[in-house]
């Protein structure tokens, strides 16, 4: 959410920063300004009347104590009370409307995010060299299917399409990756957290997934809860309504959770294997930091993501996402895309976003120093390891001609002793 005061005081700047996302992003600005004006007018009116009522009520109290007659004043205040109620009712409507509009407005874009849509995202650089195969490489499902490490058919029978059973060595691989990631992140000051994956609407609104992305979310109607699509949601909400101690910043967490996505609108896209499924597990980092440090923190997160892929020996490219392709809460986003030999292209495996104060304003996460007033923090999130996609990349890049999969050296300590290949 943007600060209404910023929109009020610097409408041209706001309009310019938002229009880089496309025309839809600025559509509501005039309405917003008009509603804000109405709201403030009503506020002045109602506050004047409340002030009057407060002072006269005080006089009534004094009169009663002195055993004097106050019936005229009481009568007058009864009328004022009715007027207050009338204005309050209209004010409430205007505020609700203002809030609803404001919730739809995406974050301002960072000037270093490229202008334009998806096709304008900028490949910043590449790392590593895609492997030259002396045989025809198989895709992840051709590798893991015959070895009975991925079972799509039974996943579909149990839960429907885009659900899978992962079995055997793939399960060991997943937990090895989790251990590897958690230990690396812990050593960099990120506190490991296992989060609730069912969250209230507040958490979804607070992180900016609601009201715009409701169709992507599994909702448990009976309890008014939502299954999270990423542990970003419960991690961001971890300090909702809190004022953190400035000296503790940055506050960094690494979460591990299952993630649930309806993938509405993705019909027919990435239908093979586990590249795009309704449920997957992910190790996610999250940071609350001082406003003037978030760019630095964003680069730090990207460097961690790169370190993970480099440690795993997976060739990748880093992409600076264009303004028009950013999610609503993000001011700037980097994706890392790993090389998939059978698709002969780079595919997204991690993503990290600087949400500036957009989520913090909604969630009311602030910090305060020795002196001065509380201020909103900046929030950042980034994928450490998206387990499904990272395992796909490992399988495809590390495959042997016989269909087994070699193990990246850094994972060996986290796999069962003596396991040299997966799926053998």
Partner RNA sequence: GGAGAAGUGGCCGAGAGGCUGAAGGCGCUCGCCUGCUAAGCGAGUGUAGGAGUGAAUGCUCCUAUCGAGGGUUCGAAUCCCUCCUUCUCCGCCA
Q: Which residues contact 315 (CB under 8 A, 6 or more apart)?
A: 126, 127, 128, 129, 130, 131, 338, 339, 397
To the nearest 10 degrees (0 to 180), the angle between helices 29-65 and 71-104 is 160
Closest Cα partner for 43 from 92, 2, 78, 111?
A: 92
Between CA 336 and CA 308 the distance in angstroms is 11
Any bridge partners for residue 319, and if so which?
123, 335
Which of 47, 68, 111, 299 is the binder for RNA (CB under 7 A)?
A: 47
92 lies in the site for RNA, by CB under 7 A? yes
- For residue 369, the minimal CB distance to RNA (Å) is 11
- For residue 96, the minimal CB distance to RNA (Å) is 10
**Closer by beta carbon to RNA, 61 or else 266:** 61
Which of 6, 44, 86, 171 is the binder for RNA (CB under 7 A)?
A: 44
Between CA 295 and CA 288 the distance in angstroms is 12
Decide: 113 and 333 in contact? Cβ < 8 Å. yes
196 lies in the site for RNA, by CB under 7 A? no
Q: Is 252 an annotated catalytic residue? A: no
DSSP annotation of 120: G
54 lies in the site for RNA, by CB under 7 A? yes
Between CA 42 and CA 311 the distance in angstroms is 60
**What is the footprint of RNA within residues 64-83 (CB under 7 A)?**
64-65, 74, 77-78, 80-81
Between CA 200 and CA 209 the distance in angstroms is 12
To the nearest 10 degrees (0 to 180), the angle between helices 387-397 and 169-187 is 110
Q: Is 39 an annotated catalytic residue? A: no
Count of residues that bind RNA according to CB under 7 A: 30
**Closer by beta carbon to RNA, 72 or else 267:** 72
**Closer by beta carbon to RNA, 55 or else 258:** 55
**Closer by beta carbon to RNA, 27 or else 80:** 80
Which of 13, 24, 34, 51 is the binder for RNA (CB under 7 A)?
A: 51
- For residue 251, the minimal CB distance to RNA (Å) is 18
The CB density around residue 344, as the number of other CB atoms within 10 Å, is: 9
- For residue 359, the minimal CB distance to RNA (Å) is 17
Catalytic residue numbers, as ranges: 261, 276, 348, 351, 389
Which residues lie near RNA (CB under 7 A)?
4-5, 40, 43-44, 47-48, 50-51, 53-58, 60-61, 64-65, 74, 77-78, 80-81, 85, 92, 366, 368, 373-374
């Amino acid at each position: 959410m943007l600060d209404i005061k910023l929109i009020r005081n610097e409408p041209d700047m706001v309009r310019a920063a938002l229009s880089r996302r496309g025309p839809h992003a600025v559509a509501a600005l005039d309405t917003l300004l008009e509603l804000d004006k109405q709201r403030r007018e009503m506020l002045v009116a109602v506050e004047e009347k409340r002030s009057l009522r407060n002072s006269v009520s005080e006089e009534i109290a004094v009169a009663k104590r002195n055993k004097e007659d106050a019936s005229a004043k009481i009568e007058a205040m009864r009328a004022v009370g009715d007027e207050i109620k009338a204005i309050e009712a209209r004010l409430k409507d205007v505020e609700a409307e203002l809030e609803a509009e404001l919730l739809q407005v995406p974050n301002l874009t960072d000037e270093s995010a490229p202008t334009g849509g998806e096709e304008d995202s900028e490949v910043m650089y590449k790392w590593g060299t895609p492997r030259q195969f002396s045989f025809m490489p198989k895709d992840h499902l051709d590798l893991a299917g015959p070895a009975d490490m991925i079972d799509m058919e039974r996943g579909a029978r149990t839960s429907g399409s885009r659900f899978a059973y992962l079995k055997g060595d793939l399960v060991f691989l997943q937990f090895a990756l989790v251990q590897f990631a958690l230990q690396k992140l812990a050593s960099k000051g990120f506190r490991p957290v296992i989060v609730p994956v069912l969250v209230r609407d507040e958490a979804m609104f607070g992180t900016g997934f609601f009201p715009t992305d409701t169709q992507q979310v599994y909702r448990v109607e009976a309890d008014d809860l939502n299954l999270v699509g990423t542990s970003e949601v419960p991690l961001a909400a971890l300090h909702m309504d809190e004022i953190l101690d400035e000296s503790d910043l940055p506050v960094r967490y690494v979460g591990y959770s299952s993630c649930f996505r309806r993938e509405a609108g993705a019909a027919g896209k990435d239908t093979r294997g586990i590249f795009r499924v309704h449920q997957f597990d992910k190790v996610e980092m999250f940071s609350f930091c001082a406003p003037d440090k978030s760019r630095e923190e964003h680069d730090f997160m990207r460097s961690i993501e790169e370190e993970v892929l480099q440690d795993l020996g997976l060739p990748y490219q880093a992409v600076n996402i264009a303004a028009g392709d950013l999610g609503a809460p993000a001011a700037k986003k980097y994706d890392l895309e790993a090389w998939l030999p059978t698709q002969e292209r780079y595919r997204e495996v991690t993503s990290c976003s600087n949400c500036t104060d957009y989520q913090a304003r909604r969630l009311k996460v602030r910090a305060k120093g020795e002196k001065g007033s509380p201020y909103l923090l900046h929030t950042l999130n980034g994928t450490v390891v998206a387990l499904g996609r990272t395992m796909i990349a490992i399988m495809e890049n590390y495959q042997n001609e016989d269909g087994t999969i070699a193990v990246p050296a850094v994972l060996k300590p986290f796999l069962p002793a003596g396991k040299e290949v997966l799926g053998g």
